[in-house]
Structure 1
């Protein structure tokens, strides 16, 4: 079991957990940076976590829910106060409603995680600071210590599973709910390079070409909130074309962007696309959370081979734009 000590200090309103792991610091850090990995151990086995947002940068925000045995959900958030890549991050953590809005009636804590080299590999020191003794006693009575132990007991299996999260894996889609899909891929390049490749028209024209042999016929890029974009393609004969359009709703370069997306000429509400770029070993983890208007639309789009097309484009991004950059 990785937890080596738990120190509760009511006088200073803190609880400190120390855990040791037989892996390099970078491997341990990436388990917390990658929402696919983090959600496999953040909640205890009977209350697994699902992260619908995870922005590991200063000023970033994470949202997740834990699902109980009866299907009940507990919603939570993190607000990132500071991040030193590979070394530490500091968050405000609290309860939220199903829309991710903080619950003002429940306690909030500050959590500071430090990742250190140790004789056997790496050490995680997690220090939680409470607002008052009453809130400290309340959260501990709710099973905070037991839940943390049970959750962290799962980390070893995740850390040992290098294959599932390796940088050479193709695009993968994970169903998070009836209307949400998280698409993930590690792209061999820095966060800034991947961001620029999504916003520089000259770079976009080199990789966002669609299927082999197709033409990129229109590339109107949006970079600021409120701006609209339009991308259009046609086959080698200039026929069977289609276009995607949308509006930028949120932009936090070079880490996060939220846009709407619609297929031109097709009726129905647009999707909401939340793209986050996170530095991990081997490159940049691109996480794209897509929210559809219905389960039926979600399934219809996935059945078109969407992820296969995305893989073609991301592979081209690596080979034609980022290789040697």
Structure 2
């Protein structure tokens, strides 16, 4: 993980994050100074950022919004103070409302981003300066430490060539917190096709099957915010196992980019999970990321122990074959 240290200093009124990456300084600099790159990691998993204004010059302004999985929104703005090309930049970071104005009761923070070479690549040092101990404690209480760690730990995949990063790894499962797991898989195919394969029943029936020996008996989906879905599977040809299914509701839908939905095992009193699917295309391949929120660590561990990752890999491999055949 890129983040090697994140600390607060109540006496100096600072929060400092250090991240080391296996990439040269110029590549790390581009990740922080190109909005489409920065969007991929500025928000923590489940809270992706969108930059609506990006003038990274002294006197310029940068505006962004992070969208939560249940439709929540957190907006911020940078007043750009200084920029030393390829080395550092300094901004005044403020919480803002939909009107673009600073929110009352929330602190403004001076942030300095410094990029330096290391023996193995480069280092980001991000120091945030607060005007009072109360402001520092307020931001920490809002989850800034863990949120910053989770966000910056996404740097590895952003800085890497997607094909190189994913080669030979198949479906990856990463435990992020007691409640959150991230599933990632590179799919050979365009973002549009991968999205269609997740929202069109005639395509879903051909790949969303898990291990061999199962068939999809129900596939109903209304891929709009507020729409419901229902899936069911049954064994065939002597395969052992009992029929099962899932149902849920789409909470947020951004076509070909992101869909957040609940997932509940049909006919049980098991608690529902929150599934946050996002897609990103680069050079003809699509990175699929699924962040799953469980009610607690025990539920998370129980689900992971079922071999979920193996079943998902079988389905994703089948999806790739389907897309290759249709190309």
Q: In structure 2, which of residues 29, 34, 44 is the aligned counterpart of residue 51 of structure 1?
A: 44
SS in 1 for 2:226: coil
User: What is the aligned partner in structure 2 of residue 92 from structure 1?
Assistant: 63
C-alpha change, 1:193 and 1:128, in structure 2 (3 Å) is farther
2:234, 2:290 → 1: CA distance? 25
User: What is the aligned partner in structure 2 of residue 297 from structure 1?
Assistant: 299
Q: In structure 1, which of residues 102, 110, 115 is the aligned counterpart of residue 74 of structure 2?
A: 102
User: What is the aligned partner in structure 1 of residue 263 from structure 2?
Assistant: 261
Figure out how many residues of one structure are paired with residues of the other and give that number.
243
1:250 offset after TM fit, Å?
Answer: 0.8
SS in 1 for 2:278: strand
SS in 2 for 1:177: coil
1:205 offset after TM fit, Å?
Answer: 1.1
1:208-234: CA deviation from partner (whole Å, max 9, x where unpaired): 122202111111122112221111111
1:175 offset after TM fit, Å?
Answer: 1.1
Is it true that 1:20 corresponds to 2:26 in the alignment? Answer: yes
1:264 offset after TM fit, Å?
Answer: 1.1
- In the alignment, is the contact (CA less than 8 A) between 2:179 and 2:300 conserved in 1? yes
User: What is the aligned partner in structure 2 of residue 320 from structure 1?
Assistant: 322
Is it true that 1:225 corresponds to 2:225 in the alignment? Answer: yes
2:66, 2:199 → 1: CA distance? 35
C-alpha change, 1:124 and 1:222, in structure 2 (3 Å) is farther
1:17-49: CA deviation from partner (whole Å, max 9, x where unpaired): x95249xx99x98x94795xx5xxx8xxxxxxx
1:165 offset after TM fit, Å?
Answer: 1.7
User: What is the aligned partner in structure 2 of residue 12 from structure 1?
Assistant: none
TM-score computed with the length of structure 1 as normaliser: 0.61
1:121-179: CA deviation from partner (whole Å, max 9, x where unpaired): xx9798776589xx9xx744x5x145x55999338998579887225521111111100
TM-score computed with the length of structure 2 as normaliser: 0.60
- In the alignment, is the contact (CA less than 8 A) between 1:205 and 1:216 conserved in 2? yes
1:40-92: CA deviation from partner (whole Å, max 9, x where unpaired): xx8xxxxxxx8213xxxxxxx62xxxxxxxxxxxxxxx432279xxxxxx952
2:176, 2:64 → 1: CA distance? 22
User: What is the aligned partner in structure 2 of residue 195 from structure 1?
Assistant: 195
CA-atom RMSD in angstroms: 4.4
1:280, 1:51 → 2: CA distance? 21
Q: In structure 1, which of residues 231, 247, 250 is the aligned counterpart of residue 249 of structure 2?
A: 247
**Structure 2 residues not aligned, in runs of 5+:** 1-23, 55-60, 95-101, 103-107, 125-154
1:321, 1:101 → 2: CA distance? 35
1:303 offset after TM fit, Å?
Answer: 0.7
